[in-house]
Amino acid sequence: MATSKLTLVWFSLSPSELSSLLLLLLLPFIYLLRLLYPFYYFPALFSAPLPRSRTTDRLNVCLICFAAMADAAAAAPIVVPQRQLFIDGNWRPPRKGAHIPVINPATEQIIGEIPGATSEDVNDAVKAAKKAFLHNKGQHWSRATGEARGKYLRAIADKVTERKLWLAELETLDCGKPIDEAVWDMEDVAACFEYYAGLAEKLDEIQYAPVELPLQNYKSNILKEPIGVVALITPWNYPLLMATWKVAPALAAGCAVILKPSELASVTCLELASIIQEVGIPPGIFNVITGFGPAAGAPLAAHEDVDKVAFTGSTKTGRSIMEMAARITKPVSLELGGKSPLIVFDDADIDTAVEWAMFGAFWTNGQICAATSRLLLQENIAEKFLKKLADWSASIKIGNPLEKGCRLGPVVSESQYTKILKYISTAQAEGASLLCGGKRPDHLKKGYFVGATVLSDVKPWMQIWKEEVFGPVLAVSTFKTEEEALHLANDSPYGLAGAVISKDADRCKRVSEGLQAGIVWINCSQPTFCQTPWGGVKRSGFGRELGEWGLENYLSVKQLTRYISNEPFGWYPPISKL
Query: Which residues are designated catalytic?
Result: 335, 369
Residue 345 · residue 504 · CB < 8 Å = yes
Q: Which residue type is seen at 211?
A: V
| C-alpha of 495 from chain center | 20
Three-state SS annotation for 145-181? CHHHHHHHHHHHHHHHHHCHHHHHHHHHHHHCCCHHH
Closest CA to 226 of 551, 446, 526, 570: 551
Strands 519-522 and 497-501: parallel
Edge-to-edge, what's the strand order for the sheet holding 229-233?
Answer: 90-92, 85-87, 286-288, 256-260, 229-233, 308-312, 332-335, 541-542
First to last CA, the chain: 115
H/E stretch holding 282 reads: none
Q: How far apart are CA 296 and CA 232, in angstroms?
A: 12
Longest dimension (CA), the chain: 115
Q: How far apart are CA 59 and CA 41, in angstroms?
A: 19
- In this structure, the chain runs to a length of 578
Q: How far apart are CA 341 and CA 9, in angstroms?
A: 67
